[in-house]
């Protein structure tokens, strides 16, 4: 019987029975017997619990949340300077070049007198925006194609061939080519990276789909006449959530990495648009000069925090989402 | 007796193959049988015999390479039009073996049971759909309050009931039960068997019961077919078959059934089936023959002679 | 049975698991004496604890489980007190070996079958090299693998399911253990193969002088191989006795329910006897008889006080208040009565 009924019965017996009454038959409620014990386990709640129990992940989550929040709030704060404005010395009217961090310029200024603090946050905004857009594209296109690739049998052959061709072209070459043809701009950057980044997600999703597509519950759905699109969305994708989240989490630092790389080889965003890539690029020229190293260190710290955080958070979440780890 | 005589499903010379070209594997080879409306037809065999493949071919999960499957007079294998496909979806349903794998873990029970209805759209209002779903739950002995829960909150037996509810909510005529109780505990099996028998009485269902557990088959089926490596070797009314198995494979299978009675079990003699010893099919290939009314067997002439003699010894009159 | 030596003695064992933040008591003060040379079957359904119980004899409990109290006496040592892998290595494989259910995952797919058996020999017995190889071939023959010299060099995937299980049995037996535990050894196999494997195990038991424990939920298997049967429910052994005693004269209502729900004992056209409900939730402490909530013939005392063992015969006892002299007489279900009659006829006839 359900626990409630059993306890009730037990209490009534314990309270007031003499020895011979104990050996009488107890009431048996058949309906209650059906309410057997079942657990009160929730998948997402357990996932969250396991995730949070990892101290490092919890800390990084707070850190990155704060960083992101600050990045977007920063322009609204008082006394913020524009990232592109060149600041001149009030008296000499010369540009305040390469000023080390002080009270007015918290991160100092760069070689043409722009406020590094404002540039770092503006650059972070830009880079993150690119990364998030690419991440979303990757998710939507990668998952859709991957699921169809894995589930619809006659698509497997053709898409695999396409994949083989695309995958064999080094991503760097595609990026360089696109940027060269379309001329550097934010749109070009996003377009170029999106062109090839969906492939990995698609393959991931396709492999997992193949593993689960012949499980009995999917066969059952077919017997019930469920159309392919609903099988994908309701039967397959919920199982892939942890993998999908991991891939998206890892794609953000990866995109920023590409952006930095492209800037290194001169195909990044125009200098007028501050981005982490630009900042790193400008800063690296000064690495040998100890008094001006700060121009590299600050953007480097920001990139490192973002990369490490997303990487660790993605992995910890993916582990937490695996029901086998739910203790 | 008479209401059994209408043939609901007829399988003729069915052939199912897997793989391509060189790796072509014949899972089902020239299988023929028919199922009457309202009966429970058992299909018994060991792993790799092809029994699951037959069930899946009927419900169109597997493609057929030859032969015909005729349901209520219409051919349902191969290419068929959408209307017929939809009709079959409603009239033929399946219960799967593993209750842990046959339900969508991430969906609520309500969605799982309603899934077929969403596809058929044979209800006018959401109220009507909910009604049907609740009725199905009550029919299988589950409380409607369970609809808002997830499968992992239930035991194996309850999950299997949810699987049954999912099929009967479609109001089918034929249910293919593919080893529905193999993965359940002993005491839960009895519950599910009782449920299936109960539903059959109430709704006039016809079952194709696929199993490898011979004691269960004996209890629940009216007629049974024994399948070995893609071919049916013997088919007869259940009691008749269990009392007088003729084909050596049937005999070896039956002799291996564990009997929960120590004295009988220890006194049992095991028969072993070895196709190369028992048959000589090179010169005289076997045919599918009706040796007595409603008792079919796969044998060549020489073997048929022996079988007739065996039947005569048991006082049964054979055909021919 | 009384004059046989006890080689394993479990007393009031309590095993707990930490699961999803809560503590589950899987074994609740179970006691068992294992006699040398016998074949004991432990019968129970999922959740009864039968696997956990025997795994604790070999230190194979999952990482989130532990022995809370009780003792497992074997060869003068209390296995329940073992803390290190080193201690278990003396026992595992060498003295107590186990055959698992699924032969496909029990074997290493990358090593030849011969090598796997031979490794076991070389590890647990003091034999190496050619001598070990000869012994390996001998054992492969013993477990019924034809042409052992050739099959020595084959890989597991070249064997069928039944053959693989024979190999697994060979590995277990190669170490010459005193106790062989078989955890549902035939559940994953076809019926005809199952019968053959059971015959094999019976033969090996005689030849190698093994004491065997069978864990199963299949009462037909039990009837074939067991000398004694222990019925487990909710982490406790609720009935134990000689094979015939438990089959023909069961005393605990759960054993009745287990036997009468078998289709072999069913009458066509009538419903099978079933037990309503599901096994109890072991996260909660259970007071009284664990089976009471599902027992239509439960007594009031079943809900408050846990029944002790009541002796039915020198070799047969059961934990049910129905055996208390003060309890009312309760008739077992029809099918059990029929079995009992057959037994009495056999005894007297």
In terms of domains, do A205 and A295 share one? yes
Best B262, B263, B266, B272 residue to mutate vs chain C (most C CBs within 10 Å): B262
Looking at residue B76, what is its pLDDT?
93
pLDDT tens-digit profile of A22-44?
777 777 666 555 555 455 667 78
Residues of A in contact with C328 (CB under 8 A): 23-25
C328 touches chain A (CB under 8 A): yes
pLDDT tens-digit profile of A165-177?
888 888 888 888 8
Instruction: List Cα–Cα distances, C97 to C34, C77, C175, C225, in angstroms.
Output: 15, 17, 8, 18
Nearest-Cα residue of chain B relative to residue A226: B119
Q: What is the ipTM of this complex?
A: 0.88
8 Å CB contact between B208 and B9: yes
Q: CB under 8 Å, gap of 24 or more: what pairs does C285-288 form?
A: C285/C25, C286/C28, C286/C234, C287/A10, C288/A10
Instruction: List the domains of chain C with CATH numbers.
Output: 93-226 (3.40.50.300), 256-348 (no CATH)
Q: Higher confidence at residue C72 or residue A245?
A: C72
User: According to the 3-state scheme, what is the secondary structure of chain A?
Assistant: CCHHHHHHHHHHHHHCCCHHHHCCECCCCHHHHHCCCCCCCCHHHHHHHHHHHCHHHHHHHHHHHHHHHHHHHHHHCCCCCCCCCECECCCCCCECCCCCCCCCCCCCECCCCEEHHHHHHHHHHHHHHHHHHHHHHHHHHHHHHHHHHHHCHHHHHHHHHHHHHHHHCCHHHHHHHHHHHHCCCHHHHHHHHHHHHHHHHHHHHHHHHHHHCCCHHHHHHHHCCCCHHHHHHHHHHHHHHHHHHHHHHHHHHHHHHHHHHHHHCCCCCCCCCCCHHHHHHHHHCCCCCHHHCHHHHHHHHHHHHHHHHHHHHHHHHHHHCCHHHCC
Q: Which residue has the tokens 């030596």?
A: C5
Looking at residue A262, what is its pLDDT?
83
In terms of domains, do A21 and A115 share one? no
Residues of C in contact with B187 (CB under 8 A): 45, 257-258, 261, 274-275
Per the structure block, which two tokens stand in for C97? Answer: 């070996």
Average pLDDT over residues A201-230: 91
Residue B241: partners with Cβ closer than 8 Å, 6 or more residues away: B224, B226, B234, B250, B295
Residues of B in contact with C274 (CB under 8 A): 187, 190-191, 194
C338 Cα to chain A: minimum distance (Å): 25
* pLDDT above 60 for B166: yes
Average pLDDT over residues A179-183: 81
In terms of domains, do A174 and A209 share one? yes
In terms of domains, do A140 and A167 share one? yes
Contact A33 C276 (CB under 8 A): yes
In terms of domains, do A23 and A57 share one? no
Q: Higher confidence at residue C258 or residue A19?
A: C258
Instruction: List the pLDDT tens digit at each of the 349 positions of chain C.
Output: 456 889 999 999 999 998 877 888 999 999 999 999 999 999 988 888 898 999 999 999 988 899 999 999 999 999 999 888 888 988 888 899 999 888 888 899 999 999 999 988 888 887 888 898 999 999 999 898 888 999 999 999 888 888 999 999 999 988 889 999 999 888 878 888 888 888 899 888 888 889 999 998 888 888 888 999 999 999 999 999 999 999 999 999 999 888 888 887 777 778 888 877 777 878 788 888 888 888 888 888 888 888 999 999 999 999 998 898 888 888 888 878 877 787 777 666 4
The total number of structural domains that make up chain A: 2
In terms of domains, do A212 and A313 share one? yes
Looking at residue A3, what is its pLDDT?
62
Contact A28 C327 (CB under 8 A): no
Q: What is the CATH number of the domain that holds A285?
A: 1.10.3720.10
Mean pLDDT taken over chain A: 83
User: In the CATH scheme, what architecture does the domain B2-244 have?
Assistant: 3-Layer(aba) Sandwich (3.40)
Q: Higher confidence at residue B227 or residue A16?
A: B227
Residue B151's closest CA among B96, B220, B90? B96
8 Å CB contact between A190 and A259: no
Task: List all chains that touch chain B, counting a touch as 3 or more CB pairs closer than 8 Å.
Answer: A, C
Q: Higher confidence at residue C272 or residue B250?
A: B250
pTM: 0.84
Q: Where does the pLDDT of residue A200 fall: very low under 50, low under 70, confident under 90, or very high at 90 and above?
A: confident
Looking at residue C1, what is its pLDDT?
44
User: Of A35, A39, A238, which has the smallest distance from its Cβ to B106's Cβ?
Assistant: A238
pLDDT tens-digit profile of B72-108?
999 998 888 989 999 999 999 999 999 999 999 888 8
Residues of A in contact with C296 (CB under 8 A): 28, 30
Residues of A in contact with B140 (CB under 8 A): none
Per the structure block, which two tokens stand in for B56? Answer: 């899946």
In terms of domains, do A56 and A13 share one? no
User: Of B191, B266, B270, which has the smallest distance from its Cβ to C274's Cβ?
Assistant: B191
Looking at residue C191, what is its pLDDT?
84
CA distance B211 to B55: 11
Looking at residue C346, what is its pLDDT?
66
Q: Higher confidence at residue A244 or residue B71?
A: B71
Residues of C in contact with A10 (CB under 8 A): 287-288, 303-304
In terms of domains, do A18 and A79 share one? no
A324 touches chain B (CB under 8 A): no
In terms of domains, do A85 and A127 share one? yes
Nearest-Cα residue of chain C relative to residue B267: C224
Contact C277 A33 (CB under 8 A): yes
CA distance B96 to B40: 17
Contact B107 A224 (CB under 8 A): no
**Gyration radius of chain A's alpha carbons:** 29
Nearest-Cα residue of chain A relative to residue B121: A225
3-state helix, strand, coil in chain B (%, to 5): 40, 25, 35
Looking at residue B2, what is its pLDDT?
47
pLDDT tens-digit profile of A128-165?
889 999 999 998 999 999 999 998 888 899 999 999 98
User: According to the 3-state scheme, what is the secondary structure of chain C?
Assistant: CCCCCEEEEEEEEEEEEEECCEEEEEEEEEEEEEECCCEEEEECCCCCCHHHHHHCCCCCCCCCEEEEEEEEEECCEEHHHCCCHHHHHHHECCCEEEECCCHHHHCCCCCCHHHHHHHHHHHHCCCCHHHHHHHHHHHHHHCCCCCHHHHCCCCHHHCCHHHHHHHHHHHHHHCCCCEEEEECCCCCCCHHHHHHHHHHHHHHHHHHCCEEEEEECCHHHHHHHCCEEEEEECCEEEEEEEHHHHHHCCCCHHHHHHHHCCHHHCCCCCCCCCCCCCCCCCCCCCCCCCCHHHCCCCEHHHHCCCCCCEEEECCEEECCHHHCCCCCCCCCCHHHHHHHHHHHHHHHC
CA distance B117 to C143: 54
In terms of domains, do A24 and A82 share one? no
Domain coverage including residue A228: 43-325
Looking at residue A240, what is its pLDDT?
84
* pLDDT above 90 for A94: no
Q: Where does the pLDDT of residue B53 fall: very low under 50, low under 70, confident under 90, or very high at 90 and above?
A: very high
In terms of domains, do A12 and A49 share one? no
Percent of chain A with pLDDT over 90: 18
Q: Which of residues 6-45 of A touch B (CB under 8 A)?
A: 34-36, 38-41, 43
In terms of domains, do A254 and A117 share one? yes
């Amino acid at each position: 019987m359900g626990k409630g009924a059993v306890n009730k019965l037990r209490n009534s017996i314990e309270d007031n029975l003499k020895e011979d009454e104990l050996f009488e038959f107890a009431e048996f409620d058949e309906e209650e017997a059906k309410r057997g014990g079942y657990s009160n386990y929730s998948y997402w709640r357990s996932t969250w619990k396991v995730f949070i129990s990892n101290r490092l992940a919890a800390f990084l989550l707070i850190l990155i949340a704060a960083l992101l929040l600050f990045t977007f709030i920063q322009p609204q704060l008082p006394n913020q300077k524009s990232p592109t404005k060149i600041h001149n010395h009030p008296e000499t009217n010369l540009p305040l070049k390469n000023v080390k961090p002080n009270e007015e310029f918290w991160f100092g200024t760069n070689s043409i007198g722009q406020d590094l603090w404002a540039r770092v946050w503006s650059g972070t905004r830009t880079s993150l925006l690119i990364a998030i857009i690419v991440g979303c594209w990757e998710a939507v296109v990668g998952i859709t194609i991957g699921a169809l690739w894995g589930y619809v049998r006659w698509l497997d052959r053709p898409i695999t061939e396409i994949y083989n061709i695309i995958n064999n072209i080094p991503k760097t070459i595609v990026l360089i080519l696109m940027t060269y043809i379309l001329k550097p701009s934010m749109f070009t950057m996003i377009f170029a990276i999106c062109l090839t980044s969906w492939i990995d997600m698609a393959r991931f999703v396709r492999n997992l789909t193949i593993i689960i597509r012949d499980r009995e519950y999917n066969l059952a759905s077919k017997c019930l006449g469920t159309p392919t699109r609903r099988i994908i969305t309701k039967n397959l994708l919920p199982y892939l959530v942890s993998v999908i989240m991991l891939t998206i989490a890892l794609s953000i630092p990866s995109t920023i990495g590409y952006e930095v790389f492209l800037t290194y080889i001169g195909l990044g965003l125009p200098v007028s648009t501050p981005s982490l890539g630009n900042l790193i690029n400008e800063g690296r020229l000064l690495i040998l000069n100890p008094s001006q190293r700060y121009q590299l260190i600050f953007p480097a710290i920001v990139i490192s925090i973002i990369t490490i955080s997303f990487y660790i958070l993605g992995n910890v979440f993916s582990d937490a989402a695996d029901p086998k780890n739910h203790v | 007796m008479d209401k059994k005589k209408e043939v609901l499903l007829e399988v003729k010379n069915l052939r199912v193959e897997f793989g391509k070209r060189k790796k072509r594997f014949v899972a089902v080879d020239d299988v023929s049988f028919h199922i009457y409306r309202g009966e429970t037809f058992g299909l018994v065999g060991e792993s790799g015999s092809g029994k699951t493949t037959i069930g899946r071919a009927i419900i169109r999960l597997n493609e057929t390479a030859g032969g015909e499957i005729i349901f209520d007079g219409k051919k349902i294998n191969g290419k068929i039009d959408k209307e017929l496909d939809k009709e079959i979806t409603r009239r033929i349903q399946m219960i799967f073996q593993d209750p842990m794998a046959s339900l969508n873990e991430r969906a609520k029970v309500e969605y799982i049971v309603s899934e077929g209805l969403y596809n058929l759209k044979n209800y006018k209002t959401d109220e009507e759909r909910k009604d049907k779903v609740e009725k199905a739950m009550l029919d299988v002995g589950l409380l409607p309050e369970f609809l808002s829960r997830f499968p992992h909150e239930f035991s194996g037996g309850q999950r299997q009931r949810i699987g049954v509810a999912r099929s009967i909510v479609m109001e089918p005529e034929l249910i293919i039960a593919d080893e529905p109780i193999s993965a359940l505990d002993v005491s839960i099996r009895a519950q599910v068997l009782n449920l299936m028998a109960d539903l059959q009485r109430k709704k006039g269902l016809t079952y194709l019961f696929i199993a490898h557990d011979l004691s269960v088959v004996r209890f629940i089926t009216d007629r049974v077919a024994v399948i070995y490596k893609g071919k049916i070797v013997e088919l007869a009314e259940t009691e008749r078959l269990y009392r007088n198995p003729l084909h050596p494979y049937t005999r070896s299978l039956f002799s291996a059934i564990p009997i929960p009675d120590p004295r009988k079990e220890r006194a049992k003699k095991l028969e072993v089936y070895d196709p190369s010893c028992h048959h000589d099919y090179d010169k005289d290939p076997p045919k599918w023959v009706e040796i007595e009314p409603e008792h079919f067997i796969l044998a060549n002439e020489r073997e048929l002679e022996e079988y007739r003699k065996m039947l005569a010894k048991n006082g049964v009159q054979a055909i021919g | 049975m009384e004059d046989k030596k006890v080689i394993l003695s479990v007393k009031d064992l309590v095993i707990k698991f930490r699961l999803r933040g809560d503590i589950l008591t899987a074994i609740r003060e179970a006691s068992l004496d294992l006699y040398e040379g016998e074949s004991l079957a432990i019968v129970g359904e999922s959740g009864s604890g039968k696997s956990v119980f025997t795994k604790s004899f070999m230190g194979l409990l999952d990482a989130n489980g532990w022995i809370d109290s009780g003792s497992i006496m074997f060869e003068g040592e209390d296995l329940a007190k073992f803390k290190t892998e080193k201690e278990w290595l003396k026992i595992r494989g060498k003295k107590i070996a186990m055959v698992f259910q699924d032969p496909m995952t029990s074997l290493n797919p990358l090593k030849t079958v011969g090598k796997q058996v031979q490794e076991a020999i070389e590890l647990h017995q003091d034999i190496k090299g050619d001598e070990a190889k000869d012994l390996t071939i001998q054992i492969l023959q013993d477990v019924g693998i034809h042409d052992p010299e050739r099959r020595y060099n084959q890989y597991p995937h070249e064997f069928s399911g039944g053959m693989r299980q024979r190999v697994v049995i060979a590995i277990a037996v190669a170490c010459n253990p005193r106790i062989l535990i078989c955890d549902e050894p035939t559940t994953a196999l076809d019926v005809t193969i199952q019968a053959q494997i059971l015959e094999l195990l019976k033969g090996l038991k005689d030849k190698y002088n093994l004491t065997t424990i069978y864990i199963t939920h299949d009462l037909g298997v039990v009837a074939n191989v067991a000398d004694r049967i222990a019925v487990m429910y909710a982490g406790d052994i609720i009935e134990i006795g000689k094979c015939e005693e438990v089959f023909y004269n069961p005393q605990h209502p759960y054993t009745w329910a287990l036997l009468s729900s078998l289709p072999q004992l069913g009458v066509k056209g009538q419903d099978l006897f079933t037990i309503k409900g599901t096994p109890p939730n072991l996260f909660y402490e259970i007071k009284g008889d664990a089976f009471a909530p599902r027992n239509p013939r439960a007594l009031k005392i079943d809900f408050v006080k846990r029944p002790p063992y009541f002796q039915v015969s020198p070799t047969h006892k059961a934990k049910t208040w129905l055996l208390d002299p003060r309890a009312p007489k309760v008739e077992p279900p029809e099918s059990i009565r029929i079995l009992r009659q057959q037994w009495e006829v056999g005894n007297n006839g």
